[in-house]
Structure 1
């Protein structure tokens, strides 16, 4: 919590949005837990007034989960949860499934999940994948691997597993599973705690990799400056702990930002500090789906970090990205988040590390699982349906 104390001393407090109309538009809260800081919750809900034109780039994808833009107008690399990795051409043509993808448990929330290109992909051809790895005996775990994508983009070569969550779980939920890279040679992997009342407490155990962010080198080694290296009883790949189910992540100026699912209420945006405990399931701004309290029934506790921002009711966050394109100049530096429920896209304006304003966009898209920026500055969203789509957003009349 030291970060927030510094921010409060150094900048003026943003005015919280408490207008009745805005609250009504966002929906009724699940809890009456008060934010630690007024700027953590319900920032002004604005309409940027930018007219957007949407077009379907491709359809026929089965529960797509992750998307990356390939360089040189080569199209898009997309994962499908049943276990397929495809190249989708810019004209929407679906390539045949790429061979040698790791085996996955395609059950419930499990399957082939995220994909990320290495920063030097154009020369190395390296990609990173996360997935639900079957372990036998009805168990599975979040796993991550790197591989080389062949020049003809039909096969993976040299598949090398770099992380397997421990212990295995019989509950095929809450895998987390974004994978992000920084420019200093590190790979970040997010995990979940597999949802059950019995295992969610593992998010507070440093000898397990449930509910954690993981930091490795690009080849899968543990960096010597990870916060728990050399600590007895702690897994040395852990970067942060106390998370529920992180399905959105991005690296900005070397810092990992995450967005995680709360239960009924309590979705969280966090700026991750190494070694920090983010509280789940001891504290939360949400409640049990049955209506009971989470953990201690509190939202704040000494030694546990507060979120930069939280939602109640939830937006059920998918992937996230910071906009750096040219098509929407007014949105430079804004954060875009895919929403699974109520659906669509959530745009956040950041100011001094806080959320200064929020906007809801294209709510008719339904379940947006991931979002990224295309080479021309358009936003690309993938929809998590049996007949999933890649949808492109550009300013109206831009052509």
Structure 2
């Protein structure tokens, strides 16, 4: 594979309580890992946003245009009785996640753009339901952001559970850069935390503040489209789109302000600046940031022995440059980048399956499995 010749600035923090930043530049290197190949698992999906693996080995896949697909024994079956979905721009049927105790309770969690509520347009919603044959049943709306808007950008959205069973999900700032992210009385540009039934945890950071959206856990985000639990620490990691430059990886922390759009390492798409600040007291620095932007989507930690050279690394999809990025971690810092699957297409998601293999969803293709060489 070709080397990436552009330089990348990063900021690394060694722990959540540490305020010291270390700035360095990283150049992507030629791959030094074993050869690998890809195998098509599920073909012909336009925008495969979310994917989860059921206990019987089958998969649920969300197609952004509004189809929930059950893939089993080589066959794709569309699930019926979905909620009404607002498909516009970046909005549609988005992420999927299973309850940690899915084998016993059967709960499936789904984020999607919903038209319900006041005003025309839509906004991100979170629901849960169960699967009965090829139909969703016991549907429960757990959260619906407001107000609706016809804008087509920045719905988010990803879902993750932590080790204590709390449910996290992301909503982008819906194109309202100067209104939503810094205002905890408004939805958008936030990471939310709920109990698994949709109720608000008593220790959420803003439960006692008047008019605050009490589901908010952190704020000052732009458009998080990657979220994963760090299996080594239990922390929730996210990445989010910057504008032109300034895509970030952040570790979610209770009540913290991650700065958008007051501080940023990016600029407007026109090339003009919207802020002169890259840091400010009371606002968090990213663990890592990309310049230029790669348009990240999907995130997975590698724990599988199938990929010994990748173990402990973080995988992130690149929509903009059509590859899967491997971030080599050491002592909580990114020390190396590597392009995988270069030219494969817009990588929408990546997950490690229960069989230990890495599965990657590619727009216009479907789901691929990465198989190491001998």
Assess same fold via TM > 0.5. Answer: yes
Give the equivalent residue in structure 2 for 1:27: 6
In 2, Cα distance between the equivalents of 1:243 and 1:226? Answer: 17
Structure 1's 104 and 349: CA in aligned 2 closer, same or farther, altered over 3 A?
A: same
Within a 5 Å distance, the mapping from 1:177-192 to structure 2 comes to 177-192=157-172
Give the equivalent residue in structure 1 for 2:17: none
Contact 1:178 1:246 in 2 (8 A): yes
Give the equivalent residue in structure 2 for 1:53: 37
Structure 1's 350 and 90: CA in aligned 2 closer, same or farther, altered over 3 A?
A: farther
Give the equivalent residue in structure 1 for 2:91: 110
1:347 aligned to which of 314, 326, 341? 326
**Per-residue deviation, 1:233:** 3.3
In 1, Cα distance between the equivalents of 2:25 and 2:144? Answer: 35
In 2, Cα distance between the equivalents of 1:103 and 1:261? Answer: 27
Contact 1:339 1:367 in 2 (8 A): yes
**Per-residue deviation, 1:348:** 1.2
**Per-residue deviation, 1:39:** 4.3
Structure 1's 260 and 40: CA in aligned 2 closer, same or farther, altered over 3 A?
A: farther
**Per-residue deviation, 1:120:** 1.2
**Per-residue deviation, 1:41:** 5.0
Deviations 1:30-84 (A, max 9, x none): xx999984446536646232211111112121211111122232x2110001111
Give the equivalent residue in structure 1 for 2:208: 230
Matched, 1:310 2:263: no
In 2, Cα distance between the equivalents of 1:90 and 1:43? Answer: 42
Relative to the length of structure 1, the TM-score reads 0.86
Contact 2:96 2:108 in 1 (8 A): yes
Contact 2:52 2:61 in 1 (8 A): yes
Deviations 1:120-162 (A, max 9, x none): 1112111100000113643211110011112x3x011111011
Give the equivalent residue in structure 2 for 1:261: 241
Contact 1:33 1:298 in 2 (8 A): no
SS for the counterpart of 1:132 is strand
In 1, Cα distance between the equivalents of 2:149 and 2:182? Answer: 16
**Per-residue deviation, 1:352:** 2.2
Contact 1:40 1:307 in 2 (8 A): no
**Which sections of structure 2, spanning at least 5 residues, go unmatched?**
13-19
1:163 aligned to which of 140, 143, 146? 143
In 2, Cα distance between the equivalents of 1:33 and 1:72? Answer: 41
Structure 1's consecutive aligned runs of 4 or more residues displaced over 6 angstroms after TM superposition are 32-36
SS for the counterpart of 1:249 is strand
**Per-residue deviation, 1:170:** 2.0
Contact 1:46 1:357 in 2 (8 A): no
**Which sections of structure 1, spanning at least 5 residues, go unmatched?**
1-20
Contact 1:212 1:241 in 2 (8 A): yes
Q: How many residues align?
A: 363
Matched, 1:278 2:255: no
In 1, Cα distance between the equivalents of 2:299 and 2:24? Answer: 18
SS for the counterpart of 2:300 is strand
In 2, Cα distance between the equivalents of 1:172 and 1:274? Answer: 29
Give the equivalent residue in structure 1 for 2:76: 94
SS for the counterpart of 1:302 is coil
Matched, 1:149 2:127: no
Structure 1's 40 and 239: CA in aligned 2 closer, same or farther, altered over 3 A?
A: farther
Contact 1:40 1:355 in 2 (8 A): no
**Per-residue deviation, 1:232:** 2.1
Give the equivalent residue in structure 2 for 1:131: 112
Contact 2:119 2:148 in 1 (8 A): no
Give the equivalent residue in structure 1 for 2:298: 319
Relative to the length of structure 2, the TM-score reads 0.91
Deviations 1:255-308 (A, max 9, x none): 2110000010000000111111000011110000011112x3211111110000
SS for the counterpart of 1:94 is strand
Structure 1's 34 and 347: CA in aligned 2 closer, same or farther, altered over 3 A?
A: closer
Report the structure, 1 or 2, having the larger helix content: 1
1:390 aligned to which of 364, 367, 370? 367
Matched, 1:251 2:243: no
In 1, Cα distance between the equivalents of 2:168 and 2:349? Answer: 17
Matched, 1:65 2:49: yes
Within a 5 Å distance, the mapping from 1:6-25 to structure 2 comes to 25=4
In 1, Cα distance between the equivalents of 2:229 and 2:356? Answer: 19
1:195 aligned to which of 172, 175, 191? 175
In 1, Cα distance between the equivalents of 2:10 and 2:331? Answer: 25
1:78 aligned to which of 38, 47, 61? 61
